[in-house]
Amino acid sequence: MRLWRHVVSVLAGILLCNAIAAAAEPVDLELVLAIDVSRSIDDEEAALQREGYAEAFRHPAVIDAIQSNPNRRIAVAYVEWAGTHYQKLTIPWTVISDAASGRRYADIIMGQPRVSERWTSISGAIDFSMRVFAISPYQGTRRVIDISGDGVNNNGRPSADARDEALAAGVTINGLVIMNDRPVPGFYGSFSQPALDVFYRDNVIGGPGAFVVAIEDFSTFAYAIRNKLIREIANLDHPVDVARSGD
């Protein structure tokens, strides 16, 4: 009898999981935007990140990229992260399908308060983003974590370990790195600071078509974010160049 109850319980669990999966709304992409809010991100960088993502979701070319896919919609979650002690789902899963929903999402991004926390745990950001996927009510054809930051992993487990676990689960990780001459916390004395784009290529990104975008000129920040999102949304294997804000 106990064995029979166990079998029934297992079967019920399987049926429930299948029912939840079947009920999930299909989207072309589940995208986690993982934004660095560590203290190495100064006020200028914080504003540029936020304004860059808001501007991108208002841009017609980004909306065109969304609507070029079969389901004509994506689901986006906005995560802010710093050290292992701080990861936050700032904006929960939201569907963007047209210009109106893109503008609404941009307004929500711009309405978030400025946060600054200690340390830089890219591994913590990846692990938290995986938990965010686990609570997604959507079923994406692809799952991507988009990590933006200005420092190497200096807190928590190695970022490559978190990266490898995410890749094993079928998630792609892309990077957007803010290159500047400010010192990165966590590297002192005889330790040399690795080039940030090289660190991301070796220890952060991975999966089909994974890439890093390096921003060296703050005047092109919004441009870089816009083109990066188009490449992710349209699943392109090459860079794009959508420079003008209204076309």
38, 83 in Cβ contact below 8 A? Answer: yes
Task: Compare 68 and 216 and report the one with higher pLDDT.
Answer: 68
pLDDT at 198: 96
CATH annotation of 26-233: 3.40.50.410
Mean pLDDT value across the chain: 86
Return the H-helix or E-strand segment holding 44: helix 43-58
Nearest partner of 180 among 195, 199, 198, judged by Cα: 195
Tell me the C-alpha distance between 231 and 154, whole Å. 29
Spatial neighbors of 43 by CB under 8 A, at least 6 apart, are: 114
pLDDT in tens, 121-143: 999 999 999 999 999 999 999 99
pLDDT in tens, 142-190: 999 999 999 999 999 999 999 999 999 999 999 999 986 554 444 443 3
94, pLDDT greater than 70: yes
Q: What's the alpha-carbon Rg for the chain, to the nearest Å?
A: 19
245, pLDDT greater than 50: no
How far is the first Cα of the chain from the last one, in angstroms, to the nearest whole number? 68
Distance of alpha carbon 22 from the chain centroid: 25
Domain residue spans of the chain: 26-233
Spatial neighbors of 240 by CB under 8 A, at least 6 apart, are: 227, 230, 231, 234
247, pLDDT greater than 80: no
Tell me the C-alpha distance between 225 and 205, whole Å. 16
pLDDT in tens, 13-52: 444 444 444 468 999 999 999 999 998 888 888 888 899 9
pLDDT at 159: 98
pLDDT at 157: 97
124, 118 in Cβ contact below 8 A? Answer: no
